[in-house]
Amino acid sequence: MTTPPVRPKRATVHDVAQEAGVSRGTVSRYVNGDRYVSATAREAIEAAIAKVGYVPNTAARNLVMQRSQAVGFIVHEPHSLFIEDPNIGEILLGANAALSEADHQMAVLIADTGRDTDRVARYLSGGFVDGVIIVSARANDPITRVVERLQLPAAYVGHPPGASSASFVVIDNLGSARAITARLVETGRRRIGMIAAALDRDSGSDRLAGFREALGERFDDRLVEPVPLYSYSAGRDGMQALLARSPDIDGVFAASDAVAAGAVEALRAAGRRVPEDVGVVGFDDSAWARRTLPALSTVRQPAARLGAEAARLVLDRIGGAPGGAEVMLECETVWRESA
């Protein structure tokens, strides 16, 4: 490796080699993360690097290799969700562990505002990452458009429309929603409503479709309350609206556990007992499910595996595999006290 002399005084591989008493090739192997450097040489090189103040010039190396060994992880969530949705944390840590195993650095990029989105798009086009994992993309998302335009290797958690060249890992939202709604019907509820969050995402619209399928002819669209986000406050507001419109409601499918926790709070405030008066079920089996009183019956989402599969898919794409792979992970129904 040759380091361009960016600043006259910058220490070079040559300086390190001389100080450590090893060859330049050995220093290069060390700097490039090669495992075949003896422990003795490694120690001498580390001491020499500290002494001469050498900084490995990854920018220069990347320019030659056209590789950064880094993968972006885009969190595409407004403020409150990043904090309220524990699944994102699990997905993120699952992806980080799998990328770490493959010696890739994960860099999480937050797209919170329009300004963030523009800047993230610039960052993606700047060679800082070899690929990207994207969660919770919406239809016509500007970052999805940039990823498509750059043909950047990408793996989505979820399957937004318009992302044709990427790979995808999804859960069976429709089948899982159908299964938990059917189970709620079996408990004898007659007037079952849904707090339907995030209908602009595949997850949200598929959960509503599953709910509708399970109810069949008993489906009544006045018992569906659309809310913008998978959040506690959206659940509380949605439940209040359903109660105002249909006071005889006796069952609720909330589109996520945070939404269900908000619904339980609104029911308590209105003097309705859960599950005696109204049965409530959620979706995710996140930390919310076990902490809500009563504990939520819900759908267990394999969040860490979603992250790990997304990592595997993006590494495959970086390695040259074609896009368009789709992996679907199954969920299971978990029955607790809320219904």
Q: Which residues of this protein are in contact with a second copy, per CB under 8 A?
A: 4, 6-7, 33, 50, 55-60, 62-64, 66, 68, 70, 72, 79, 82-84, 86, 89-90, 92-93, 96-97, 100, 103, 105-110, 112-113, 115-116, 119-120, 122-123, 125-128, 149-150, 287, 291, 293
Whole-number minimum distance, CB 108 to a second copy, in Å? Answer: 4
DSSP result, 125-188 = TTTS-SEEEEES--TT-HHHHHHHHHT--EEEES--TT--SSEEEEE-HHHHHHHHHHHHHHTT
Q: Which residue, chain included where needed, has tokens 């299964």? A: 179
Whole-number minimum distance, CB 45 to a second copy, in Å? Answer: 13
Cβ distance to a second copy smaller for residue 103 or 276: 103
Cβ–Cβ contacts within 10 Å for residue 322, how many? 9
Q: 114-124 and 142-150 are packed helices; what angle lies between their axes, rounded to 10 degrees?
A: 10
130 dihedral zone (left: phi>0; alpha: psi -120 to 50; beta): alpha
Whole-number minimum distance, CB 69 to a second copy, in Å? Answer: 8
Residue 339, H or E segment: none
Phi, psi angle pair for 193, to nearest 5°:
-110, 175
Cβ distance to a second copy smaller for residue 180 or 315: 315
Whole-number minimum distance, CB 256 to a second copy, in Å? Answer: 15
Cβ distance to a second copy smaller for residue 112 or 172: 112
User: Can you list the pairs that 56-64 forms with residues at least 24 positions away whose Cβ atoms lie under 8 Å?
Assistant: 56/31, 57/3, 57/4, 57/6, 60/3, 60/4, 61/1, 61/32, 62/127
Residue 196, helix vs strand vs coil = strand
Cβ distance to a second copy smaller for residue 102 or 244: 102
Cβ distance to a second copy smaller for residue 80 or 246: 80
Whole-number minimum distance, CB 183 to a second copy, in Å? Answer: 27
Whole-number minimum distance, CB 91 to a second copy, in Å? Answer: 11
Cβ distance to a second copy smaller for residue 121 or 249: 121
Whole-number minimum distance, CB 169 to a second copy, in Å? Answer: 19
Cβ distance to a second copy smaller for residue 99 or 224: 99
> Residue 166: CB partners within 8 Å, gap ≥ 6?
134, 147, 148, 153, 154, 155, 156, 317, 323, 324
